Every structure is written in structure tokens, then in C-alpha cells.
């Protein structure tokens, strides 16, 4: 379930070849060996990571990637969390796969065309591509995979736009849609798996650069290089282990001890205490970090009140305090890395202005403020800390905040599924399809846990969704973001910076604007 | 024999009550196993289907009876969190690791605390006693997880005597796995050693002031003879009770310490299972731990009889 916009895989190739040149000689053949330049939107990130010293690649070697969560499922067609998608990115590929610049490159398909009305997508199977067990990928496997995914997703999912898949010949598959839709490519990253495999979760077989070796619940998953991978020259490493560690502090100790080689989501303080045997890469978490508001809760149903909250929260203070000022402040529900659709204007709709906030509250009929409970998942310190800063700031405009910390499971069932909350601080991820980010604000949508409703937003969103012309589509999505900003659908804060520590034994760490930890581009560095 | 049967019935009743309570607890607290596994992006159909599959739609008593039927036959079902993996296979290795860790910790406690406790009593008021007493006082005040962090920094990151997180499965190499578990075991054992030393010392001192000690001396026993032949046997009775409690605490302590040292034991599994609402796993762990505690109490009762024949007639 990784997705995105641009239709040109060839462009991705060209761009990455260019990036390859400036990043030094890494993976000679790697199609997207663009290394650190992934966050092309975030110039500061790009510069700082380009200055990192990376030595000469040496083939072979093994890496241990530390993560603080276990995998949800190895079955690629079951919806999972970003952490799991980070890992299985190395195992599975779709007809197309995301490149580090957010475009799509052909993977299991070698080529594709889109009909003018964007209702029929035609994919050509790549010659000679094989599964990890050595068997060739057939067009039946491709059809089976897409159909299986559609069935698991069910009729209420976004994937139901696919009406049928048609095998034209043994190298060609047509995907027919119910209506015109140009955001299909992100969905075509759905993993292609062999139809003959009866246990995809227990015995994962894909076409990715690494193949499955073992999985021990609560401990680790081990992958090894797949020699028959269709891209020449990658992967460089022989073995990859993703190690699951109980908590962030323990993980950090293991990083210092050299037990793990890579750890992401470091705090600014942690990054500073690390010695010089690590490179710190700066990317972004690709999250819309915000205080989400329940529009059905009385004071919050008024636009003026929500705007007052936006004026009353100092995004800079949160960014400085939690991320050393390195995060990208946002003003609507889209991440900057989605450059084609991102509306930078939204960032400037509100400035920190407590006086204005008080005025707005008074106008809305709450001159003395009101009570607000912010429910946050306790296991995520960045959300809890953010809520505390917000509570302190809002007390200055008369809003009396109570913070209610709940377990993640409780948050999922009560807040997200039940819609039973007043405000919550959380970060939303999304796929490379812009609709995936913005859909949750549509009136009555299943994922609209905020009970947000705005007819002009619904209209603009529908236009954007249906638009076939790329520029028109982007314009509508930008307009939709401005509506969310001006209507103060939520108190948007930032796309948090992602500080990744990588042992100097390795080079080529690459950020993606979606959930992917691409270990195929990582390589061992010659030791002095 | 009658005594044994009585104890066995107590064990069964305890297990039944505990298992029902933990079963009921999970239906009271918020959270949903199906939702935990599927996450934010799950559609309504997927959720309903999975709930159905997990049997979560049935009423509580029905689910409990079904679980009980399986459990009696040693079948704890499948994990909710890990699709297609049985609870038994999930528990096997962590259970072994925790038993190993607890065993090493218990061994440390016995080996260090009993000689130290006796020595402290024997040289009561002398420098050995004073020093032991002071150190015990300090160590007792430190919680195991904090001790674990200190040990990790000092012996792991600074002195490099072990590599934090580099646990080797006992299946790969038993002795390497034992080697890694030494420091976690120290973190669990140290505070307990301090307690047992203090307890044993006071117990021995209390016995030394008894009349029978004077009698023993008057019969011509040496001070060692009195101590090992008469006093220790009596002094050990309360200590054995205390040790039984300590074993239960070792289990509890290992849950915390396993997190700090990244030891893949049942403690870590228990915590993640609770967070993921993986009831079948939690039920099985709770059952195992309860059984261990109850059985240890039973063993202690038997030990009493060996140490003190008067108990038998009661």
C-alpha cells in the first residue's frame, strides 16, 4: 500500500541517475540509488545529509536495524502499520514501486500505459522476473495478487474503484476502473505473490531484493540477499536483520553498544550524545502531526473556537522544544514531501497570537474559555509532550485543558474507531496518493473520526478526486487544503523531523516519502 | 497423602479463580484484539470478519468455557496478535529463558546470602556485619530496573563485559545464553540477596538468645557446633518462608529486568501481549505464573515439615 502521483517511471530513473552522480559512486546500476537526496523538498535535510562522509562501498556484509515495534503481519495484502511496511518493502514489490523521490518506477511490470480517460491501466510483465523460490512470475500470479488484495480490502475500501482485472495475453494485464482515476499507481504497489503459495503470512515469497529467512515474534526478522533480483547490482548487503526492541531507551543503549547499526526517530538530544562512529541523517517522519478536534463536541463545532485554538498554539515552541526546531511546520493535512499537491500557503494562515485567540473566543460566546480534554496515547512521548505544551499555551487564552493518557489499544478503539473524544494529539501517515491523506475529512466517511463536515470541502475534494488532468487535480487538492486550514479543521503542527543514526560502517541510507526502509541501497563501507 | 490431595485441590481452585479473573478483566478494559492487530487502516468488514474469526462476538461465559476446555487439554489456542502461531510455540522459548534467568538469580541469592547472613550474625557488631548491613541497606533501596540500567552502563557500555541486546538464544548456544543472563540475574538477585542476608542475620541472632542455645553450650558444644547443629535449623524456618516469597518476586522482577536488558522472556511477551490485547497468550502466562507460585508454596510447606516436625501434626 505505498502510492504516489507522477506517471513517469522513466523520469524517476533519470532523476536518480543524476542524483547518483552527486552522491558518489554507490550502486552502479541501482535504479533509484539517489541515496540521501530523497527528501528533495526539504532542502536543509538534503544539504546536511549530503555533507556526510561515506566511504567506498564493499559488497556483502550484514546490518541490524533496530525498531521499537513488532511486525503486524507478513501477509502483504493485509493492512498493516507503517513500521511493518518499512520492513516488507524489502521483500515484496508491486507492478510498480515507489522511488525515493516519491515517483514510481516499474518493478514487476516493465512498462505500463494509461488510457486517456484514466479508466484502463495496462501493465506489461517484466521479462525473466522470478519469485524468491526461483519460479517465474506469471500473469496469473499478477491477477491473483490484485484480486486477492481487492477481496481482502472489501467493498468499502478505496481499492473498490478497481472493477476487474483482465489478462490480455501471458505478458499483459489490464486493470479496469469503475470511474476515471489518475491516482491508481500508488495502489498498484500492491505486492505480487505466487498464486501457489497457500501461506503468505508464514512463508513469505515475493520478488523484492531480499528474501525471507526467519521471523521470531517479539525478537527479529532476518532477510538475505536474493541473487535472482531483477535489478543488477543491488542489493549490496548479504543479510539484514530487523530487531524488535522493547522501548526507545533500550534501543538507544543497544545502538551505543553496537548491537544495532541503525535506529530512527532519535530525539535531538540523543543525536547529540552519540559519538562520531555514527552518521546522523535528517529526513522527515512523513506524518501530519496535529491536534485533531471532534467537531461534534459543542464548543469545537464553532469555526471561531477552532480558529482561536490555532492562534493559541505556538507551533514553533513545540518544534523547538521537541525537535530542536528541525521539523517542517505545516498548516493543513498534507506533508511537504508530496510536493506536487502540497500547498505551502496553508503554513501561513495562522501565527501565534493569544490576543486574537481570546477575541475569537469571546466572539464565539466563550469569553471565559471552556474545558477541553486532550486524549493521547501514552506510549508515544512526542504526542504526550506536545499535548502538555499545548495545555500550557491554551491556559493563557482561558481554555482549561485536561490531558487524558490512554493505552494505544484504547486509543484505537475509543478515539479512532469510536470517535469518543474532544481533542487528541496524533500523527497521521498516508500513502503516496493525495486522496489517502485528505479523504478522512469528507462528511460521513468511515475514517472521519473527527465528525468534520464542510460541504464546500466535500465539493472540492470530489472534483480533485475525479480530475484526470494532473494540474487541475493538484489545484483542487491545494484548494481543499486551504479550506481545511481556514476552517481550522484541526490544529496542524508539523511534519516532524526524522533523525536516523547509521553506524559509519554503512553508507547509502535513503529516505522515502512513504513507509519504506530500503535496505537494498545500503552498503558496507571499507574500513580504514 | 491426604495433605497432598488437599493442596492439589487448592491449586486447581486457585488456577480456576485466577484464570476467570484475568479473563473477565480483559472484557472490562477498553481495547479490541481485532483492532489492535489490524490497526488504523482496517475497514469495517475486515474488523467484523476478524472478530468473528477470533470468536470475540460470543458472550463472555461461552468464551471462557471454550477456553477452559482447551486449556484442560493443554491447548491454549492461537495467538490473536500473531496469525497462525499457537500460544504454546510462542511461549516455549520465552518460558525457558525466564526459568533460566530466575534459576540463575535464585542460585546467586542462595550462594551469597546464606553464608553472608550467617557470617553477619556470627560476627555481629564487628566490621563485616557493619559493612554488610550498610551495603544491604543501600541495595535494598534500589529498584531492579534502575539497577539494571546502572549495570548496563557500567558493565555493558563502559567496561564492555557484555554487549547489551546481544542475547543469544539457548537453542543456539546454551552457555552463551547463560553468560548473557548473568548481569540481568545480578540485577534481580542483588536486592533480594540484601534482604535475605538481613533476614537471616536477625533470625539467627534471635535464636542465639534462646534458652536451648545455653543448654547446647553447657553440653559442651563448640560455637560452630551450636550454630550449624542447632541454631541454623531453627533460624531457617522463617527464612524458607521468605525465600518462597522471593521466588515469586524474582518472577515479577524478571518482567521488568527483561525489558531493560532486552531478554526475550515471558516478561517481555506478557507486556507486549497485554498491550496488543492478545488474551490467549496473557491467559497462558498468567496461568503458568500462578501455577509456579502455588507449587512453590506447596514445596515450602513440605520443606517446613522436614525442618520442623511439629508442623506435621498440625
Of the partner residues A157, A253, A410, the one whose CB lies closest to the CB of residue B31: A410
pLDDT for residue B142:
84
| Residues of chain B contacting residue A186, judged by C-beta atoms under 8 Å apart | none
pLDDT of residue B238: 83
Question: Is the CB of A201 less than 8 angstroms away from the CB of B83?
Answer: yes
**B255 contact A CB<8A:** no
Give the chain A residue whose CA is nearest to the CA of B261.
A250
Give contacts of B 72-131 with A, CB under 8 A.
79, 81-85, 90, 94
CATH architecture of A2-17+50-59+73-203+503-525: Alpha-Beta Complex (3.90)
| pLDDT at residue A412 in the model | 87
Residues of B in contact with A201 (CB under 8 A): 83-84
pLDDT at A8: 40
Contacts of A72 in chain B (CB under 8 A): 37-39
Query: Which stretches does DSSP call E strand in A115-191?
Result: 120-125, 162-169, 172-177
Q: What are the DSSP calls for A377-389, one per residue?
A: ETT-HHHHHHHHH
Task: Please tell me chain B's helix, strand, coil percentages from 3-state DSSP, rounded to the nearest 5.
Answer: 80, 0, 20
Angle formed at CA B135 by CA B130 and CA B139, multiple of 5 degrees = 150
| Residue whose grid cell is 511537504 | A336
A-chain residue closest to B161, CA distance: A257
Q: Does A241 touch chain B (CB under 8 A)?
A: no
pLDDT tens by residue, B130-141: 888 888 888 888
Q: Measured between CB atoms, does A1 come within 8 Å of chain B? A: yes
Q: Give the start-to-end residue ranges of the domains of chain A.
A: 2-17+50-59+73-203+503-525, 288-495
Give long-range contacts, CB 8 A cutoff, 24+ apart: B121-124: B121/B200, B121/B201, B121/B202, B121/B204, B121/B205, B121/B208, B122/B204, B122/B223, B122/B227, B124/B201, B124/B205
Chain B partners within 8 Å of A253 (Cβ)? 152-153, 156-157, 164-165
CB A423 within 8 A of CB A400: no
What is the pLDDT of chain A when averaged over all its residues? 87
* pLDDT for res A27: 34
Contact A218 B166 (CB under 8 A): no
Nearest CB to B35; choose among A247, A407, A412: A412
Three-state helix/strand/coil letters over A399-427: CEEEEEEECHHHHHHHHHHCCCCCEEEEE
CB contact under 8 A, A217 and B85: yes
pLDDT along chain A (528 residues), means of 10: 39 37 34 35 40 73 92 85 91 94 92 92 95 95 95 84 93 94 92 93 94 92 95 92 90 92 91 89 94 93 95 95 93 93 95 95 93 92 93 95 91 88 94 92 91 95 91 95 96 95 94 93 84
Cα(B255)–Cα(B136) distance, integer angstroms: 23
Q: Is residue A27 within 8 Å of A234, Cβ to Cβ? A: yes
What's the pLDDT at A45? 40
CATH superfamily of A288-495: Dipeptide-binding Protein; Domain 3 (3.10.105.10)
DSSP state of B174: H
Chain B residues with CB inside 8 Å of A420's CB? none
Q: Does residue B66 belong to the interface with chain A, where contact is any CB pair within 8 Å?
A: no
B166 touching A, CB under 8 A? yes
> Are B165 and A259 within 8 A, CB to CB?
yes
Pairwise CB contact (< 8 Å): A414 & B90: no
DSSP tag of A182:
S
A127 touches chain B (CB under 8 A): no
Who among A157, A247, A416 is closest to B43 (CB)?
Answer: A157
Interface of A with B in 16-75 (CB under 8 A): 70, 72-73, 75
Give the Cα separation of A319 and A387 in Å (integer). Answer: 13
Task: Give the pTM.
Answer: 0.84
d(CA A90, CA A520): 7
β-bridge mates for residue A210, sequence order: A225
Q: How far apart are CA A288 and CA A430, in angstroms?
A: 9
Task: Please tell me the predicted confidence (pLDDT) of residue A137.
Answer: 96
Residue A446 is nearest to which of B44, B268, B275, comparing CB atoms?
Answer: B44
CA distance A273 to chain B (A): 14
- Residue B279: partners with Cβ closer than 8 Å, 6 or more residues away: B23, B26, B33, B80
Taking Cα atoms as reference points, which of A484, A445, A81 lies closest to residue A292?
A484
Q: pLDDT by residue for chain B (314 residues), tens digit each?
A: 677 788 788 888 888 898 888 888 877 777 777 777 777 777 777 788 888 877 777 888 888 888 888 888 888 888 888 878 889 888 989 999 999 999 999 999 999 998 998 888 888 888 888 888 888 888 888 888 888 889 998 998 888 888 888 888 888 889 999 999 999 999 999 999 998 998 899 888 888 888 888 888 888 888 788 888 778 888 888 888 888 888 888 888 888 899 889 899 998 888 888 888 888 899 899 888 888 888 888 888 777 777 777 766 54
The whole-number pLDDT of residue B207 equals 86
| Contact A458/B at CB under 8 A | no
A402 and chain B in contact, CB less than 8 A: no
Do A246 and B268 make contact, defined as CB atoms within 8 angstroms? Answer: yes
Q: How far is B295 from chain A (nearest CA, A)?
A: 29
Quick check: B39 contacting A, CB < 8 Å?
yes
| Residues of chain A found within 8 Å of residue B262, distances taken between Cβ atoms | 245-246, 250, 254
How many other CB atoms are there within 10 angstroms of residue B1's CB atom? Answer: 5
Q: How many CB pairs under 8 A join A and B?
A: 118
C-alpha cell at B119: 557470617
Asked if B272 lies within 8 A of A245 by C-beta distance, the reply is no
Instruction: Report the pLDDT value the prediction gives residue B182, as an integer from 0 to 100.
Output: 93
Question: Taking CB atoms and an 8 Å limit, are A79 and B30 in contact across chains?
Answer: no
Where do runs of H (alpha helix) occur along A39-172? 43-50, 82-88, 139-153
CATH number of B92-313: 1.10.3720.10
B211, B226 contact by CB (below 8 A):
no
SS3 A228: coil
Overall size of chain B counted in residues: 314
Give A61-100 as a DSSP string. -EEEEEESS--S-S-TTS---HHHHHHHTTT---SEEE-T
Amino acid at each position: 500500500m505505498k502510492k504516489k502521483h507522477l506517471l513517469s517511471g522513466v523520469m524517476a530513473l533519470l532523476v536518480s541517475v543524476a542524483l547518483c552522480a552527486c552522491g558518489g559512486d554507490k550502486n552502479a546500476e541501482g535504479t533509484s540509488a539517489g541515496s540521501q537526496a530523497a527528501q528533495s523538498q526539504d532542502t536543509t535535510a538534503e544539504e546536511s545529509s549530503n555533507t556526510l562522509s561515506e566511504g567506498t562501498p564493499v559488497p556483502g556484509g550484514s546490518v541490524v536495524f533496530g525498531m521499537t515495534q513488532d511486525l503486524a503481519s507478513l501477509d502483504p495484502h493485509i493492512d498493516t502499520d507503517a513500521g511493518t511496511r518499512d520492513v516488507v518493502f524489502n521483500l515484496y514489490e508491486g507492478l510498480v514501486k515507489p522511488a525515493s523521490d516519491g515517483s514510481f518506477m516499474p518493478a514487476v511490470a516493465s512498462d505500463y500505459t494509461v488510457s486517456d480517460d484514466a479508466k484502463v491501466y495496462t501493465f506489461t510483465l517484466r521479462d525473466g522476473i522470478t519469485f524468491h523460490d526461483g519460479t517465474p512470475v506469471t500473469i496469473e500470479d499478477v491477477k491473483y495478487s490484485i484480486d486477492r488484495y481487492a477481496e481482502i480490502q472489501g467493498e468499502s475500501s478505496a481499492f473498490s474503484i478497481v472493477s476487474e482485472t483482465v489478462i490480455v495475453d501471458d505478458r499483459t494485464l489490464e486493470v479496469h476502473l469503475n470511474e476515471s482515476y489518475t491516482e491508481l499507481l500508488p495502489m498498484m504497489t500492491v505486492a505480487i505473490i505466487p498464486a501457489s503459495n497457500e501461506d503468505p503470512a508464514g512463508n513469505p515469497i515475493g520478488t523484492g531484493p531480499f528474501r525471507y529467512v526467519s521471523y521470531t515474534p517479539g525478537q527479529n526478522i532476518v532477510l538475505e540477499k536474493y541473487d535472482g533480483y531483477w535489478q543488477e547490482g543491488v542489493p549490496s548487503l548479504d543479510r539484514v536483520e530487523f530487531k524488535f526492541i522493547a522501548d526507545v531507551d533500550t534501543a538507544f543503549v543497544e545502538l551505543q553498544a553496537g548491537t544495532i547499526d541503525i535506529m530512527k526517530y532519535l530525539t535531538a538530544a540523543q543525536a547529540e550524545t552519540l559519538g562520531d562512529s555514527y552518521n546522523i541523517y535528517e529526513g522527515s517522519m512523513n506524518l501530519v502531526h496535529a491536534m485533531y478536534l471532534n467537531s461534534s463536541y459543542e464548543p469545537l463545532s464553532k469555526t471561531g473556537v477552532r480558529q482561536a485554538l490555532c492562534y493559541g498554539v505556538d507551533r514553533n515552541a513545540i518544534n523547538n522544544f521537541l525537535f530542536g526546531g528541525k521539523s517542517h511546520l505545516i498548516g493543513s493535512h498534507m506533508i511537504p514531501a508530496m510536493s506536487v499537491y502540497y500547498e505551502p500557503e496553508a503554513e501561513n494562515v495562522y501565527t501565534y497570537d493569544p490576543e486574537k485567540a481570546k477575541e475569537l473566543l469571546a466572539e464565539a460566546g466563550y469569553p471565559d474559555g471552556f474545558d477541553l480534554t486532550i486524549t493521547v496515547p501514552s506510549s508515544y512521548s512526542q504526542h504526550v509532550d506536545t499535548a502538555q505544551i499545548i495545555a500550557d499555551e491554551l491556559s493563557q487564552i482561558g481554555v482549561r485543558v485536561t490531558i487524558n493518557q490512554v493505552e494505544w489499544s484504547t486509543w484505537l478503539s475509543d478515539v479512532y474507531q469510536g470517535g469518543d473524544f474532544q481533542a487528541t494529539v496524533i500523527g497521521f501517515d498516508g500513502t503516496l496518493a493525495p486522496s489517502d491523506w485528505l479523504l478522512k475529512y469528507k462528511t460521513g466517511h468511515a475514517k472521519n473520526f473527527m465528525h468534520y463536515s464542510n460541504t464546500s470541502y466535500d465539493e472540492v475534494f470530489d472534483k480533485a478526486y475525479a480530475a484526470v488532468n494532473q494540474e487541475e487535480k493538484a489545484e483542487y487538492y491545494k484548494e481543499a487544503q486551504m479550506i481545511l486550514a481556514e476552517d481550522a479543521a484541526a490544529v496542524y503542527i508539523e511534519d516532524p523531523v526524522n533523525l536516523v543514526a547509521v553506524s559509519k560502517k554503512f553508507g547509502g541510507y535513503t529516505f522515502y516519502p512513504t513507509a519504506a526502509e530500503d535496505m537494498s541501497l545500503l552498503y558496507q563501507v571499507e574500513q580504514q | 497423602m491426604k495433605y497432598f490431595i488437599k493442596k492439589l485441590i487448592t491449586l486447581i481452585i486457585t488456577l480456576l479463580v485466577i484464570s476467570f479473573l484475568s479473563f473477565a478483566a480483559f472484557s472490562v478494559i477498553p481495547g479490541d484484539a481485532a483492532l489492535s492487530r489490524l490497526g488504523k487502516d482496517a475497514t469495517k468488514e475486515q474488523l467484523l470478519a476478524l472478530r468473528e474469526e477470533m470468536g470475540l462476538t460470543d458472550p463472555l461465559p461461552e468464551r471462557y468455557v471454550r477456553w477452559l476446555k482447551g486449556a484442560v487439554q493443554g491447548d491454549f489456542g492461537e495467538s490473536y496478535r500473531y496469525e497462525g502461531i499457537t500460544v504454546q510455540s510462542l511461549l516455549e522459548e520465552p518460558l525457558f529463558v525466564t526459568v533460566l534467568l530466575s534459576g540463575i538469580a535464585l542460585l546467586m541469592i542462595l550462594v551469597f546470602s546464606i553464608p553472608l547472613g550467617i557470617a553477619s550474625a556470627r560476627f555481629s557488631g564487628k566490621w563485616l556485619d557493619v559493612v554488610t548491613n550498610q551495603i544491604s541497606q543501600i541495595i535494598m533501596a534500589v529498584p531492579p530496573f534502575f539497577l539494571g540500567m546502572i549495570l548496563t552502563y557500567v558493565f555493558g557500555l563502559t567496561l564492555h563485559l557484555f554487549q547489551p541486546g546481544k542475547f543469544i538464544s539457548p537453542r543456539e548456544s546454551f552457555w552463551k545464553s547463560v553468560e548473557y543472563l548473568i548481569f540481568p540475574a545480578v540485577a534481580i538477585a542483588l536486592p533480594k540477596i540484601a534482604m535475605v542476608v538481613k533476614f537471616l542475620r536477625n533470625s539467627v541472632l534471635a535464636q542465639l538468645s534462646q534458652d536451648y542455645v545455653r543448654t547446647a553450650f553447657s553440653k559442651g558444644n563448640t560455637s560452630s557446633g551450636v550454630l550449624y547443629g542447632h541454631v541454623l535449623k531453627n533460624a531457617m524456618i522463617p527464612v524458607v518462608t521468605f525465600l518462597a516469597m522471593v521466588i515469586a518476586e524474582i518472577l515479577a522482577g524478571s518482567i521488568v529486568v527483561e525489558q531493560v536488558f532486552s531478554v526475550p522472556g515471558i516478561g517481555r511477551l506478557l507486556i507486549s501481549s497485554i498491550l496488543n490485547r492478545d488474551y490467549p497468550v496473557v491467559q497462558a502466562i498468567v496461568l503458568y505464573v500462578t501455577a509456579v507460585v502455588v507449587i512453590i508454596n506447596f514445596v515450602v510447606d513440605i520443606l517446613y515439615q522436614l525442618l520442623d516436625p511439629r508442623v506435621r501434626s498440625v
